[in-house]
Amino acid sequence: MSHLLPLWMVGPLACGALLGALGVGLRAQAAPAPAPGWQFSGQVQQGFDSNVLVSPTHPESDATTQLLLSLGRKWTGPGWSFSAAYLPEAETFARHTSLGYVAQSYRQDWQYALGRHTRLSWTANAARYPERGGAPGMAAGGQTANLAMALGSVLSNASSTLTLSHQYSLRASWSAGVNGGVQAFSPDTSLLAQLPANTLAPARSQSRIGGGSLGWSYRLSQRRTLQISATDTEMWFTNPAQRLRYGNVQVSLQQQLGSGYSLQLGAGPSWSWRLQRGPGAALANLPGQSYAANASLTHQVGRSQYGLSWEHGVQAGTVPGGVTTDMLGLQYGLQWGQAWSGSLGLGRNAFTGQASAQAPPASQHQESLYASGQLSYRIVNDWTLQVHASFMTQAIPTSSPLLAQLRRLQCSLGIAYQSGGAR
The CATH number for 51's domain is 2.40.160
Q: How confident is the model at residue 367 (pLDDT cuts 50, 70, 90)?
A: confident
Once rounded to an integer, what is the mean pLDDT over residues 159-182?
97
Report if residue 275 sits inside a domain.
Answer: yes
Lowest-confidence segment of 1-10, 66-75, 288-297 by average pLDDT:
1-10
Q: What pLDDT shows up at residue 324?
A: 63
Q: What is the per-residue burial (b if ≥16 Cβ within 10 Å, else e) of 244-264?
A: bbbbbbbebebeeeeeeebeb
Q: What pLDDT shows up at residue 175?
A: 98
Q: What pLDDT shows up at residue 318?
A: 56
This prediction has a pTM of: 0.82
Range of the domain at 277: 7-422
Helix (H) or strand (E) holding 15: helix 15-21
| 363 vs 351: CA distance, rounded Å | 10
Q: What pLDDT shows up at residue 2?
A: 34
Once rounded to an integer, what is the mean pLDDT over residues 269-296?
76
pLDDT of 358 > 90? The answer is: no
Please count the structural domains in the chain: 1
Give the chain's end-to-end CA distance (angstroms, integer). Answer: 27
Once rounded to an integer, what is the mean pLDDT over residues 403-418?
91
| Better pLDDT: 152 or 43 | 43
pLDDT of 3 > 90? The answer is: no
Report if residue 2 sits inside a domain.
Answer: no
Report if residue 409 sits inside a domain.
Answer: yes
Lowest-confidence segment of 91-95, 153-157, 364-368, 369-373 by average pLDDT:
364-368
Counting Cβ atoms within 10 Å, is residue 356 exposed (0-12), middle (13-18) or buried (19+)? Answer: middle
pLDDT of 360 > 60? The answer is: no
Average pLDDT, the chain: 82
Q: What pLDDT shows up at residue 403?
A: 73
Report if residue 308 sits inside a domain.
Answer: yes
Q: Are strands 62-77 and 37-49 parallel, antiparallel or unpaired?
A: antiparallel
pLDDT of 76 > 70? The answer is: yes
